[in-house]
Structure 1
Amino acid sequence: MTAADLHRVCIAGASGRMGQMLVEAVRASGDCQLTGALDVATSPALGQDAAAFGGHASGVIITSDLTTGLLGSQYLIDFTRPEGTMAHMRECVKLGVNLVIGTTGFTPEQKDEIAKASSSIAIMMAPNMSVGVNVTMKLLEMAAKAMSTGYDIEIIEAHHRHKVDAPSGTALKMGEVIADALGRDLKECAVYAREGVTGERDPSSIGFATIRGGDIVGDHTVLFAGTGERIEITHKSSSRATYAQGSLRAVRFLAGRSSGLYDMFDVLGLR
């Protein structure tokens, strides 16, 4: 494969935990090239080589200047914060750079803006890039349809102490998949907190429970509790590497696409 055939990738949040994992995944791949690295203006990593954390030299310097960082890139992979991702997306639209979004916690208004931007560039957005998680989503869709009555549905998720949004974007997506399969609107049937005398459980509700602690990468369990039996569908992440590899699959999927809004079901052919 020649240099002209490589997918030219910029990484947002390049000095963070996920950013470093993405930099290493791109560096180790045979078909992607690191061409840009972005971070916030207050990052102590500004001016350093993006691969220096691993003892390597990529020739790509971490910058907070969006135009400089994106120059020469075909794709941006972004696992930052909603406000950062939105600013990055607007610059991607100006420069014609396709975007892979793993950020969670967007408002409905921000999601609308992302959808509008997808008419100008190709965007792959998913709350979880893990192949395993997305296969789990498909299993949940099948299970929900088969157990549409007589089963109470609860979603339990656990993440590290640094995660700032709850429930996780993955847990919410699981709820959406289940609600859609049941013909319900998650906004109307979700229960996010229980305390005190709550009364009997509404059988049409989908409950969420959130755990935060330590360095848990990400655990998700969906419980279908019926009379005399319960089914648990669980996915556990032990490394962020699975998110990085899924992101590179998304980059390859976007190759040759100039517009459109996609998710990991599109990438994995799970429609």
Structure 2
Amino acid sequence: MIRTVLTGATGRMGATLSRLVREAPDLELAGATARGKAEQLAALGVPAGDDLGRVLDAARAQVVIDFTSAEASVVHARQCAERGVALVIGSTGFTPEARAEVARSAASIPVVLAPNTSVGVNVVIRMAAELARVLGDGYDVEVLEAHHRMKKDAPSGTALKLAEVLASALGRGQEDLTFARHGQIGARPSKEIGVQTLRGGDVVGEHTVFFYGEGERIELTHRATSRDQFGLGALRAARWVTGRTPGLYDMADVLGFPRAT
């Protein structure tokens, strides 16, 4: 049994993870962080509080699954590194500086940092890169993402990851990404990769990559209809990362995809 601690256990994603961990035959919910009244924390049935460090000390944890915020995840990574506990991060919205902070912690512990832990969406990300390499510069590339009205960061971490792998596959850089269009913008630059955002309702997550060619269009889409898929992927990552050597990993490592060269 892998002793697992969850952060934000009473939130929407945290509640999903709590249920899935309890259902898993090889994982044990050993602790949780959450903000709430004493009776809410007691109902979790495990060491719980708003300080991850204290929870880790009480829980004898082997791995932490963290779906909170980029700012909180930086602190959580530091606390895990101090105690030698593996970490899976599903938070999004990382600045380059925050990502560098997590990488520093990963020098001491194994960390999986993934903008999206769904197995399906990570397969789509890999397929998008393969399509881009095969199609080449003869197609205009656009990324469209949609999420619920409560999501705070835009574009989504998954959309940014898609844009990153598409740019890499096509030999392009950050300067070729366009995140908004308005007014008299002129003709579309040939190397541009557009990344567009929709927000509304209770959409769990939708991502589509469009390849627009002359006389044809290719669409590659992933639609999440339940948070369970993120949770199941996170559990898969937790199993994989426990006992690994220190380093900063992603879902491509978890799924056994070859590293890009």
TM-score by length of 1: 0.92
Residue 109 of structure 1 is matched in structure 2 by: 97
Per-residue CA deviations over 1:226-261 (Å, capped at 9, x if unaligned) read 110000000000000001000111011112214111
C-alpha separation between the residues in 1 aligned to 2:121 and 2:95?
23
Counterpart mapping for 1:67-146 below 5 A: 67-71=53-57, 72-146=60-134
Aligned pairs, number: 256
* Secondary structure of 2:243 counterpart: coil
Question: Which residue does the alignment assign to 2:140?
Answer: 152
Task: State the distance in 2 between where 1:150 and 1:67 align.
Answer: 52
CA shift in 2, pair 1:29/1:238, >3 Å? same
| Equivalent residue in structure 2 for 1:180, among 155, 165, 168 | 168
Deviations 1:61-106 (A, max 9, x none): 4311222211211111111011111111111111111110000101
Question: Hey, what's the Cα distance between the residues in 2 that align with 1:138 and 1:180?
Answer: 12
| Corresponding position of 2:51 | 65
Secondary structure of the 1:134 match is: helix
Deviation at 1:216, TM superposition (A): 0.2
1:24 aligns with 2:10: no
Give the secondary structure class of the aligned counterpart of 1:148. Answer: helix
> Which runs of 5 or more residues in structure 1 are unaligned?
1-5, 53-57
SS at match of 1:94: helix
Would the aligned equivalents of 1:153 and 1:222 in 2 still touch at CA under 8 Å?
yes
After TM superposition, the runs of 4+ consecutive aligned structure 1 residues lying more than 3 A away are none
Q: How does 1:203-218 map to 2 (within 5 A)?
A: 203-218=190-205
Q: Identify which of 10, 27, 30 aligns with 1:15.
A: 10
2-structure distance, mates of 1:47, 1:89: 28
Gaps of 5+ in 2: none
SS in structure 1 opposite 2:111? strand
Question: Is the 1:10–1:35 Cα contact (8 Å) retained in structure 2?
Answer: yes
Q: C-alpha offsets along residues 127-152 of structure 1, whole Å, 9 cap, x if unaligned?
A: 00000000001110110001112110
Shift of 1:113: 1.3
Per the TM alignment, residue 48 of structure 1 is displaced from its structure 2 partner at its CA by 2.5
Aligned mates of 2:84, 2:242 — CA distance in 1: 13
Tell me the distance in 2 between the aligned counterparts of 1:8 and 1:250. Answer: 14
Which residue does the alignment assign to 2:150? 162
Name the aligned partner's letter for residue 5 of structure 2. C
Q: CA RMSD in A?
A: 1.2
> Percent identity, aligned pairs only?
50
Question: What does residue 48 of structure 1 align with?
Answer: 40
| Secondary structure in 1 matching 2:112 | strand
1:55 aligned partner: none
Alpha-carbon distance in 2 for matches of 1:37, 1:267? 24
How far residue 47 of structure 1 moved from its aligned partner, in angstroms, is 4.6
Q: 1:219 to 1:46 in 2, by over 3 A?
A: farther
The letter of the residue matching 2:11 is G
Provide the rounded CA distance (Å) in 2 between the counterparts of 1:64 and 1:245. Answer: 25
Q: TM-score, normalised by structure 2?
A: 0.95
